[in-house]
């Protein structure tokens, strides 16, 4: 199919990728065959074991994590009035109640931190209440946001980096601190949903995608200039496999055309990162391939170790009881307008857009080869 047709499908499908999503009834699911990923064994880690944390610190050299981006990384920044992440049943697996994460439990940030033996960084909006947690870094990500302004009145990535720079200006961190820090940048597609909601047309999408990647490149360079030594930036996930976009097939099948369209964004991203690394003189920036890691898990219907099983991988665990309802919706009397699956560990997706804790765990295992290279 021609590129402009791919982009048209991408434009149509990303119209729903914002803070949360609509849900409806579901059936058994399956997936088109994506690219294969090599298998690796991975041990499940427990953060509570301080010896383990110290050993991971020594191995990888990171003791702080600074995070920028959206709901795939947000651990409690978005305002309670804006995100369903502060409403039941979000957080039922961890920490046992809604805490601002767009999942039943832990999200990408938590697993990246865990992998390198770092305590998950405190959300920026809470740093004044937990100053001691600053030693592990800060999470500046806000659900619903993008590289540019979106429909959510929260700080875009440029402003998030402004917050980080303010901490540097206030001597909370110095350049030496940043040498042992990893920077995580999450970009899950909110810029594109905002584009169509603001009246953007298909013909203008290629230029808009280019502008998004250009601004992302500016942001990465700025982080470098502020002292970032190592940066991990996410590629765009397979939008055609998100439940909001597979509901038309009763969650039976991914939209292969949409997933091919996503490749345009990811190709530009990889080109921008490669160019930046050449300018720097070493691999300061690494792309975390969420497209491949998501499709690998979905294809295997579980994690690559075989310890987690997602028998209906495209089926969300939490969904609205009607097409107009979504996970976390209630009526004027407080009655639940959603249903939740019996076992969150059996579902890859939590709601129409976001993975479950188990889903993110499986994704983190699929990312292991590239995470091992970030040192």
Strands 122-123 and 230-234: unpaired
Cα–Cα dist 79/110, whole Å: 20
The two structure tokens encoding residue 285: 């920036």
Strands 137-139 and 181-185: unpaired
Selecting among 29, 71, 186, 364, the annotated active-site residue is: 71
Q: Identify whether 265 is a catalytic site residue.
A: no
E strand intervals along 209-295: 230-234, 285-288
Cα–Cα dist 156/186, whole Å: 12
Cα–Cα dist 262/87, whole Å: 31
Q: At what angle do helices 357-366 and 290-300 cross, to 10 degrees?
A: 110
Q: Are 215 and 265 in contact (CB under 8 A)?
A: no
CA distances (Å), 364 to each of 294, 359, 360, in order?
10, 9, 6
Torsion angle defined by CA atoms of residues 358, 238, 371 and 360, in that order, rounded to the nearest 10 degrees = -10
Q: Identify whether 354 is a catalytic site residue.
A: yes
CA distances (Å), 49 to each of 84, 116, 119, 151, 334, in order?
32, 13, 11, 41, 41
Q: Identify whether 40 is a catalytic site residue.
A: no
Selecting among 104, 110, 289, 351, the annotated active-site residue is: 351
Selecting among 37, 354, 361, 364, the annotated active-site residue is: 354
Nearest partner of 7 among 255, 271, 195, 203, judged by Cα? 203
The DSSP code sequence of 46-81 is -TT-HHHHHHHHHHH---EEEEESSTTT-BS-S-TT
Catalytic residues: 71, 351, 354
């Amino acid at each position: 199919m021609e590129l402009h047709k791919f982009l048209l499908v991408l434009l149509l499908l990303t119209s729903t990728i914002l803070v949360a999503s609509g849900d409806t009834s579901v059936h058994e699911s399956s997936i088109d065959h994506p690219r294969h990923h090599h298998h690796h064994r991975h041990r499940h880690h427990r953060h509570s074991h301080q010896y383990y944390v110290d050993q991971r610190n020594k191995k990888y050299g990171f003791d702080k994590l600074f995070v920028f981006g959206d709901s795939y990384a947000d651990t409690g920044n978005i305002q309670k009035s804006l995100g369903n992440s502060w409403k039941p049943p979000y957080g039922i697996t961890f920490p046992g109640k809604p805490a601002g994460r767009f999942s039943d439990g832990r999200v990408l940030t938590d697993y990246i931190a865990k992998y390198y033996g770092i305590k998950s960084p405190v959300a920026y909006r809470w740093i004044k209440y937990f100053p001691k947690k600053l030693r592990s870094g800060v999470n500046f990500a806000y659900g619903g946001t993008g590289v540019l302004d979106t429909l959510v009145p929260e700080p875009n990535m440029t402003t998030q980096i402004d917050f980080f720079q303010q901490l540097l200006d206030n001597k909370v961190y110095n350049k030496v601190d940043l040498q042992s820090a990893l920077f995580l940048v999450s970009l899950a597609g909110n810029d594109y949903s905002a584009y169509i909601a603001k009246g953007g047309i298909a013909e203008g999408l290629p230029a808009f995608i280019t502008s998004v990647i250009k601004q992302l490149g500016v942001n990465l360079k700025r982080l470098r200039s502020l002292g970032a030594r190592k940066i991990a930036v996410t590629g765009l996930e397979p939008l055609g496999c998100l439940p909001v976009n597979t509901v038309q097939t009763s969650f039976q099948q991914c939209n292969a055309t949409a997933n091919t369209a996503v490749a345009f964004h990811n190709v530009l991203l990889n080109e921008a990162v490669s160019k930046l690394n050449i300018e720097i003189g070493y691999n300061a920036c690494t792309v975390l391939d969420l497209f491949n890691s998501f499709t690998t898990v979905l294809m295997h219907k579980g994690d690559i170790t075989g310890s987690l099983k997602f028998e209906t991988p495209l089926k969300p665990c939490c969904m609205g009881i009607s097409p107009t309802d979504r996970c976390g919706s209630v009526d004027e009397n407080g009655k639940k307008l959603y249903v939740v699956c019996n076992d969150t560990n059996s579902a890859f997706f939590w709601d129409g857009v976001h993975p479950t804790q188990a889903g993110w765990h499986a994704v983190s295992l699929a990312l292991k080869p590239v995470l091992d290279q970030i040192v």
